[in-house]
Amino acid sequence: MNKKVRIAVLVSGGGTNLQALIDAQKKEILKSGKIELVISNNSNAFALKRAKKNNIPFEIIDKKDFEEKLKEILKLYKIELIVLAGFTAILPADFVQDYDKRIINIHPSLIPSFCGKGFYGIKVHEEALKKGVKITGATTHFVNEIIDGGEIIMQKAVEVYEDDTAEKLQKRVMEFAEWIILPQSVEKVCKCILKNILEEK
Ligand code: GRF
């Protein structure tokens, strides 16, 4: 069967995690799903340039009527799995419930540490350094109505060094955890979705 899960990646910034997914697709680490669409809530996101360069269709949705437009676009592209890769907006609870186990997020810490409301971007690593943890990492999880509260898919630990700054730590967590487990998690979930489709037939 050649069916692949149709994936939309939601981004707001640099898009290095999107790039990791694109690279994984090329290397066939991600082979049970295909990135069909990139959606951004920020028209200046560098992630959009990455989409363009790789011939992936992209859409920009601004704040106004965001939910309505998002639903419309996802339907139009027949999207079956949503990946939040550095997407800064919180998706409304009713939307999230409609996509139960169909939305994946990547968070730059080992959940349940340094997660939840207010823990995003560099702040996560600043707090990890403040606490003096010796190990941190990244977590992929399904999205539910609780911020960073959905079922965990994968985690990978990264060592914290004595002379770390938040920026250095952020970079290490991305390189040695996020860019590895995000594509692996997406493949794992896509495989599962395909298996369920086959069994339903
Ligand atoms: C990553 O650290 C991700 O874990 C977090 O936001 C950052 C996005 O980076 N959710 P990028 O846009 O993928 O480069």
Binding site members: 15-17, 105
Q: Which atom of ligand 1 is nearest to the CA of 85?
A: 13
For 4-59, how does the pLDDT look when each residue is reduced to its tens digit (9 = 90+)?
999 999 999 999 999 999 999 999 999 999 999 999 999 999 999 999 999 999 99
CB atoms within 10 A of CB 6: 18
CB atoms within 10 A of CB 68: 10
- Using left for φ > 0, alpha for ψ between -120 and 50, and beta otherwise, residue 146 falls in beta
Active-site option among 107, 125, 141, 172: 107
- From atom 14 of ligand 1, which residue's Cα is the shortest distance away? 16
For 86-109, how does the pLDDT look when each residue is reduced to its tens digit (9 = 90+)?
999 999 999 999 999 999 999 999
Q: Quote the tokens at residue 184.
A: 């692996």
Q: What is the pLDDT of residue 190?
A: 98
- For residue 191, pLDDT beyond 80: yes
* Ligand 1 interacting residues, C-beta cut-off 6 A: 13-17, 47, 85-86, 106-108, 174, 178
How far, in Å, from the CA of 27 to the mean position of ligand 1? 21
How far, in Å, from the CA of 41 to the mean position of ligand 1? 14
Q: Quote the tokens at residue 1.
A: 């069967």
The Cα 60–Cα 14 span in angstroms is: 15
Alpha-carbon 89 to chain mean position: 12
Residue position matching structure tokens 């790039």:
19
For the segment 128-156, the average pLDDT, to the nearest whole number, is: 98
What DSSP line would sit under 48-95, residue for residue? Answer: HHHHHHTT--EEE--STTHHHHHHHHHHHTT--EEEESS--SPPPHHH
Average pLDDT of the chain is 96
- Kindly indicate the confidence band of residue 1, based on its pLDDT and cuts at 50, 70 and 90: low
Mark whether 141 is an active-site residue.
no
Kindly report the pTM of this predicted structure: 0.96
Instruction: Provide the CATH topology of domain 5-200.
Output: Rossmann fold (3.40.50)
How far, in Å, from the CA of 88 to the mean position of ligand 1? 9
Q: What is the pLDDT of residue 2?
A: 86
